[in-house]
Amino acid sequence: MIEDEKIVELFFERSEQAIQELGNKYGKVCRKLSYNIVNNMQDAEECVNDAYLGAWNAIPPEKPDPLLTYLCKIVRNISLKMYYRKEAARRNSMYAIAMEEIEACLAAPNTVETEFEARELARVIESFLDTLTAENRVIFMRRYWFSDSCKDIAKLVGLTEKNISVRLTRIRRKMKKYLSRRRCLYELKEVYRSYEQNRQQVCRRSAFLQRNPFGEKKL
């Protein structure tokens, strides 16, 4: 198989061989990623083909590096869109199962956590991943980003399926505590920001009254 740099060059040359080489090198990975989300091979094939078209339209001007990460992101986004369209009729995909596992760690609706914006949550989860060992980080990403089964992850890292299940439980428990601490810090920041805003308003009002003790406007 040719190197990623050569595949990208083919895209820049607008050679249709780029799609063929992309499929030869990463087609299996992309189909598995999509299938884990949509739970239907025909739908997965459609998502992957749409992802190839998306890559064709984006390269150039984009010059992705690493190429696989870039392609998987496109595949995942397209697959999720299809999944949400068909969610009412299908709740047994690996993606749905993996999301049910991790939902308990995330914010509950109608609470202060709803203020914990998506971008901030993503940043905090990234910082949490930095606290994990390299192996546990791989296990987490394979389960909750690629939606791999515990059986597949076990084969990948050389552990038993039971060990993977235990590791994931511990990681989720650790992440829940980590997010809880960060939410507390977020709440404190919000309280302090509210206090600062009120204090500044009081100071401005006090300064105004000192200049105009009867609240009279200067002519």
**In this structure, is residue 219 part of a structural domain?**
no
Look at the chain and report how many structural domains it folds into: 2
Q: What 8-state DSSP symbol labels residue 59? A: T
User: Is 99 a residue whose pLDDT tops 60?
Assistant: yes
Q: What 8-state DSSP symbol labels residue 114? A: G
Q: Taking the model in full, what pTM does it have?
A: 0.56
Asked if residues 36 and 147 have their Cβ atoms less than 8 Å apart, the reply is yes
Arithmetic mean of pLDDT, 193-204: 54
Q: What 8-state DSSP symbol labels residue 102? A: H
Residue 155, domain CATH? 1.10.10.10
Distance CA 103, CA 92 (A): 16
Q: Tell me, yes or no, whether 127 and 35 share the same domain.
A: no
**In this structure, is residue 82 part of a structural domain?**
yes
Dig out the tokens for 6 from the structure.
């050569």
User: Is 46 a residue whose pLDDT tops 80?
Assistant: yes
Distance CA 175, CA 104 (A): 10
User: Is 30 a residue whose pLDDT tops 90?
Assistant: yes
Domain limits for position 122? 100-211
Q: Tell me, yes or no, whether 49 and 104 share the same domain.
A: no
What confidence score (pLDDT) does residue 194 get?
54
Distance CA 63, CA 73 (A): 14
**In this structure, is residue 192 part of a structural domain?**
yes
Q: Tell me, yes or no, whether 56 and 156 share the same domain.
A: no
**How big is the chain, counted in residues?**
219
| Interacting residues of 18 by C-beta distance below 8 A, sequence separation 6+ | 7, 8, 10, 11, 56, 59
Q: What is the pLDDT of residues 115-147, one digit of tens each?
A: 445 556 667 778 888 899 999 999 998 888 888
Residue 85, domain CATH? 1.10.1740.10
Distance CA 200, CA 194 (A): 10
Q: Tell me, yes or no, whether 53 and 153 share the same domain.
A: no
**Could you say which of 32, 58, 90 is where a domain stops?**
90
Q: Is residue 141 exposed (0-12), middle (13-18) or buried (19+ Cβ within 10 Å)?
A: middle
Neighbours of 193 (CB within 10 A): 10
Q: Tell me, yes or no, whether 86 and 140 share the same domain.
A: no
* Plot region of 215 (φ>0 → left; ψ -120 to 50 → alpha; else → beta): left
**Could you say which of 43, 63, 90 is where a domain stops?**
90
User: Is 200 a residue whose pLDDT tops 60?
Assistant: no
Number of H helices, E strands in the chain: 9, 0
User: Is 50 a residue whose pLDDT tops 90?
Assistant: yes
Q: Is residue 73 exposed (0-12), middle (13-18) or buried (19+ Cβ within 10 Å)?
A: middle
